[in-house]
Amino acid sequence: MREGARVRLDYSAQSLWRVDRMIDELRREDTTYAAVDTVLRGFGAYAGEVIVRQTGAEWWASSGDHWIRTPDGRLWDPIDEARRCFAGSGSLRLLCRDATVAGR
């Protein structure tokens, strides 16, 4: 995605603004969910890695689902948040903000 879209993703919390905008653009272009499912998983995984690097969280997986567990013990689902963002009711940037505050 970085290469094709020429978007700088540097694992910073600020880069999630760009990811949210890209997802919003996909939605406004009436892209079908089926066409972007893999991209949304990638965006969610990227957001999860941003949270891991910001908070010292760790990845958790079970039955094919993946979450982030912050040091305070809370579980976060960045992949599902990317899907909610595509549906118009989520934000990877805000998820990161909330997880970063909670992880401190």
Q: How confident is the model at residue 104, as a pLDDT?
A: 62
The encoded tokens of residue 12 equal 């910073």
Q: Which of the four pLDDT bands, split at 50, 70 and 90, describes residue 103?
A: low
Rg, C-alpha atoms of the chain: 13
Query: 7-35: per-residue pLDDT in tens?
Result: 779 999 999 999 999 999 999 999 999 99
* pLDDT tens sequence across 46-71: 999 999 999 999 999 999 899 999 99
Distances (CA, A) of 90 to 6, 77, 79, 101: 24, 11, 11, 18
The predicted model scores a pTM of 0.91
